[in-house]
């Protein structure tokens, strides 16, 4: 032994376990914590039974106050068997909090506090039968799915799974346990707020919304000021009686009428489970709840996760809380952590599926295996569509019908940067279907141009216990004077020979891949510029073999076949497909139409004409009239290709409308066909010149003189495969205008 080195101190504990024959799974451990609640020593009880146990502790703990707790065996290495991303991440992202006194006590621990006044100390501890029974652990399978809700072009919502996210699973304090610990004033506050909930909002059904508006409940201040007293409760009870069903009153009336904090705690403890639905309306209570990390697990390519946990067999079902995290662009991003309030899964039913929904824009999504190829087609390439719009929902003429803010838009062009998506069978790539080529042309006979924008795929790189998500390029790669893209191979190393066979792997995914885009078309940079690069375009896909020779899918006994979707995508069933038609073919390639238009709208409100004249003194905004005059309201809402919708409002004073209903809510800028009309009596001449003439009395209503405000907004129809385009790359596609004027009676005579 080194000179001057202090000897460890020893603590001998004689343990008396009340049960004489513990079950095999009831393994006991003695834990020692210092004054800062740090675990400084632990030792298992012999064979799970009582007896003498000796703890050897650091000499630095001499004279230290210790907390000695006997409880069930807890492990810090709760996620080592799960290849979860968080285990590998740096900067303390590994979700393994140390064992704390509270964790052991909640699992049935028995505590004794002492000071290590001598180098060797002895003490006795006894574990009651009630505490010991909590040591028994039962297993529970936790299942769930992490999704992001994506709006499809038809306005429907599709839930897409988030892949390779880390799900942290926490156990939340039991309501019974928290009620036992609450200060008296908090108990009285709970009682008061229960009365307010029942008096102001009878729960039938309960609750109508998962999260009530804040603050809830407001409550009358005089009533709140008397929270500690019973007088306010008696005052409120008659209203409670009228608002509640008899069974609800019977459940909680003993709580309302408790005469002391002791009695109130007893009544709340007796109704702990019945209290759970109402906790959502008591945000202050959640400050007393703790959550303890149990384990973590990873989502698959469809967003599903599953993990086995344990909980006390004699306890109620576990109360669980979840968070979700993902590595995005090298940063650890929280996707889901809404807070305990209203988001605890109380009494979780083992094996049931929980749904976690993230709204993180950058969440990396996976796509389920949702393509149903035609019968007897085993090797195929499926040009799927643009963004969330598959080829079935894109019109044959290359336009798109979709909804925006629940308003229909028909015949919309595409624009901005388009993301082309394409599927393939699992046996591609092979030597016969090794590359693909993307081209576009204006019209049906123009020059073909290659797509040259890089396409990449993320892969998992694991080194020195850390995981990162670099990318590797599919292309474009120069081959035989062309620019081709690789079909995604089975391993990243097949794309970059410098990568490692074992350390670099694709994420868990299906045929479509976690990175969905097969190519990009930045339509604002098409040859000719925005003012010329509009109208019908064709997109062409070709397949090449390993030597860069084009492969013909239309010959007899083809090496692969092009297929296309014939139903819209659905979250509940696979998209049906069929082989291509003659109209889809161009030599050995597959083609489809897109109408492109990135041009901006125009919006201009004209000065109203009074009795057909433009008044010269209109700079101040006052227009004089005589009672027999009429007023012409006119404005221009246009788009060079008529790909726009107009919305116009005219308001008088502080009212929401002027007389005569002068508004247009959602109107095509193109002039109507013969026999068709424009809403509210407007005329649309020359594609966007709107006007309507009414008597001045119609506009003025009850007023003699009045001020008016006009607002015009022109919405571009352009669509990028996900949503309408109002702005892109520093340019506004929409246009708007404002104008104000006033009508004043001409009293010059």
Residue 456 CA to residue 470 CA, distance in Å, equals: 10
**At a CB cut-off of 8 Å and minimum separation 6, what does 176 contact?**
269, 272
Residue 126 CA to residue 120 CA, distance in Å, equals: 20
Tell me the pLDDT band of 248, cut-offs 50, 70 and 90: low
**pLDDT reported for residue 73:** 81
Tell me the pLDDT band of 47, cut-offs 50, 70 and 90: low
Residue among 448, 452, 451, 470 at smallest CA distance from 461:
470
Residue 459 CA to residue 472 CA, distance in Å, equals: 7
pLDDT at 527 over 80: yes
**At a CB cut-off of 8 Å and minimum separation 6, what does 383 contact?**
391, 420, 422, 539, 541, 562, 564, 590, 592
Residue among 389, 398, 179, 367 at smallest CA distance from 273:
179
- Concatenate the DSSP letters of all residues of 642-676 into one string: S-EEEEEEEEETTSS--TT---EEEEESSPPPTT-
Domains 140-173+290-358 and 602-745 share a fold: yes
Q: How many CB atoms lie within 10 A of CB 125?
A: 18
**pLDDT reported for residue 668:** 93
CA 744 to each of CA 618, 660, 706, 707: distance values in angstroms, whole numbers, following the listed order = 12, 18, 7, 9
pLDDT at 11 over 70: yes
pTM, rounded to two decimals? 0.57
pLDDT at 213 over 60: no
- The CATH code of the domain at 602-745 is 2.60.40
Among 47-56, 67-76, 420-429, the range with the most confident prediction by mean pLDDT is: 420-429
pLDDT at 245 over 80: no
Mean pLDDT of the chain: 82
In the chain, the percentage of residues whose pLDDT exceeds 70 is: 82
pLDDT at 317 over 90: no
For the stretch 249-269, pLDDT in tens is 678 888 888 888 899 999 999
Q: Where do the H-state alpha helices sit in 499-601? A: none
Q: At what angle do helices 231-243 and 184-200 cross, to 10 degrees?
A: 30
**At a CB cut-off of 8 Å and minimum separation 6, what does 140 contact?**
308, 309, 310, 311, 317, 318, 348, 350, 351
**In CATH, what class is 9-135?**
mainly beta
Tell me the pLDDT band of 84, cut-offs 50, 70 and 90: very low
Segment 381-396 shows an average pLDDT of 94
Residue 509 CA to residue 202 CA, distance in Å, equals: 48
Q: How many CB atoms lie within 10 A of CB 91?
A: 7
CA 187 from centroid of its chain's CA atoms: 36
pLDDT at 208 over 70: no
pLDDT at 454 over 90: yes
- How is domain 140-173+290-358 classified at the CATH fold level? Immunoglobulin-like (2.60.40)
At residue 370, the 3 state secondary structure works out as: coil
pLDDT at 294 over 80: yes
Residue with tokens 């929280």: 334
pLDDT at 287 over 60: yes
Segment 336-353 shows an average pLDDT of 91
Residue of higher predicted confidence among 217 and 576? 576
Tell me the domain boundaries of the chain: 9-135, 140-173+290-358, 371-596, 602-745
Segment 715-732 shows an average pLDDT of 95
**pLDDT reported for residue 221:** 31
Residue of higher predicted confidence among 176 and 640? 640
Identify the DSSP state of 580: P
Tell me the pLDDT band of 177, cut-offs 50, 70 and 90: confident
pLDDT at 87 over 90: no
For the stretch 579-610, pLDDT in tens is 998 888 888 999 999 999 999 999 999 999 99
Residue with tokens 């624009």: 415
pLDDT at 241 over 60: no
For the stretch 106-143, pLDDT in tens is 778 889 999 888 888 889 888 887 788 777 777 889 99
């Amino acid at each position: 032994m080194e000179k001057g080195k202090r000897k460890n101190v020893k603590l001998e504990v004689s343990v008396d376990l009340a049960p004489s024959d513990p079950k095999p799974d009831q393994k006991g451990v003695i834990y020692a914590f210092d004054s800062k609640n740090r675990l400084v020593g632990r030792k298992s009880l012999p064979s799970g039974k009582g007896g003498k146990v000796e703890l050897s502790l650091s000499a630095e703990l001499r004279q230290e106050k210790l907390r000695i707790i006997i409880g069930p065996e807890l492990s810090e290495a709760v996620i080592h068997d799960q290849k979860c991303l968080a285990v590998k991440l740096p900067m303390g992202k590994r979700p393994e909090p140390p064992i704390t006194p509270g964790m052991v006590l909640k699992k049935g621990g028995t505590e004794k506090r002492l000071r290590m006044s001598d180098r060797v100390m002895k003490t006795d501890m006894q574990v009651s039968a009630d505490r010991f029974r909590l040591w028994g652990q039962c297993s529970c399978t936790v299942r769930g799915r992490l999704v992001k809700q994506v709006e499809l072009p038809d306005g429907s919502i599709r839930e897409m799974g988030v892949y390779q996210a880390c799900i942290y699973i926490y156990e939340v304090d039991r309501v019974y346990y928290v009620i036992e610990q609450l200060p008296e004033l908090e108990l009285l506050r709970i009682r008061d707020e229960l009365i307010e909930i029942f008096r102001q909002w009878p729960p039938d059904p309960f609750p109508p919304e998962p999260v009530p508006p804040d603050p809830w409940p407001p409550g009358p201040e005089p009533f709140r000021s008397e929270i500690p007293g019973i007088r306010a409760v008696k005052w409120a009870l008659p209203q409670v009686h009228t608002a509640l069903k008899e069974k609800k009153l019977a459940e909680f009336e003993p709580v309302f009428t408790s005469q002391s904090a002791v009695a109130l705690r007893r009544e709340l403890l007796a109704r702990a489970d019945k209290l759970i639905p109402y906790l959502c309306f008591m945000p202050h209570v959640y400050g007393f709840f703790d959550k303890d990390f149990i384990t973590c697990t990873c989502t698959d390519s469809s967003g599903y996760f599953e993990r086995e946990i344990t909980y006390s067999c004699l306890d109620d079902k576990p109360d669980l809380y979840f968070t979700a995290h993902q590595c995005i662009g090298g940063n650890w991003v929280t996707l889901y952590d809404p807070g305990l309030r209203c988001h605890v899964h109380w009494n979780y039913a083992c094996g049931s599926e929980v749904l976690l929904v993230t709204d993180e824009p950058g969440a990396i999504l996976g796509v389920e295996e949702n393509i149903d190829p035609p019968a007897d087609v085993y090797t195929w390439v499926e040009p799927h569509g643009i963004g969330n719009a598959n080829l079935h929902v894109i019109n044959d003429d290359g336009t798109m019908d979709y909804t925006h803010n629940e308003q229909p838009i028909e015949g919309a062009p595409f624009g901005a940067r388009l993301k082309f998506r394409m599927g393939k069978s699992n046996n591609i790539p092979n030597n016969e279907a090794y590359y693909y080529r993307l081209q576009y042309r204006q019209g049906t006979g123009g020059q073909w141009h290659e797509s040259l924008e890089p396409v990449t795929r993320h892969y998992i790189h694991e080194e020195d216990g850390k995981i990162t998500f670099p990318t590797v390029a599919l292309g474009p790669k120069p081959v035989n004077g062309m620019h081709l893209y690789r079909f995604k191979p089975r391993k990243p190393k097949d794309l970059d020979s410098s990568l490692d066979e074992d350390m670099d792997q694709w994420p868990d995914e299906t045929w479509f891949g976690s990175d969905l885009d097969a190519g990009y078309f930045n339509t604002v940079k098409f040859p000719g510029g925005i003012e010329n690069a509009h109208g019908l375009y064709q997109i062409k896909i070709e397949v090449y073999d390993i030597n860069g020779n084009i492969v013909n899918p239309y010959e007899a006994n083809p090496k692969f076949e092009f297929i296309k979707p014939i139903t819209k995508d659905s979250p509940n069933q696979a998209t049906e497909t069929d082989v291509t038609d003659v109209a889809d073919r161009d030599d050995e390639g597959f083609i489809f139409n897109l109408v492109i238009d990135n041009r901006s709208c125009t919006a201009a409100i004209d000065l109203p004409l009074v009795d057909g004249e433009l008044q010269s003194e209109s700079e101040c905004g006052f227009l004089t009239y005589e009672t027999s005059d009429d007023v012409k309201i006119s404005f221009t809402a246009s788009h060079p290709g008529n790909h726009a919708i107009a919305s116009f409002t005219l308001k008088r004073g502080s009212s929401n409308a002027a007389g005569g209903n002068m508004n247009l809510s959602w109107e095509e800028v193109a002039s109507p066909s013969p026999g068709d009309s424009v809403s509210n009596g407007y005329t649309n001449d020359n594609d966007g010149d709107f006007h309507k003439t009414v008597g001045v009395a119609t506009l003025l209503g009850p007023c003699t003189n009045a001020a008016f405000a006009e607002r015009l907004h022109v919405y571009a129809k352009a669509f990028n495969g996900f949503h309408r385009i109002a702005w892109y790359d520093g340019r506004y596609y929409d246009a708007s205008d404002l104008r104000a004027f006033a009508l004043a009676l001409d009293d010059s005579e």
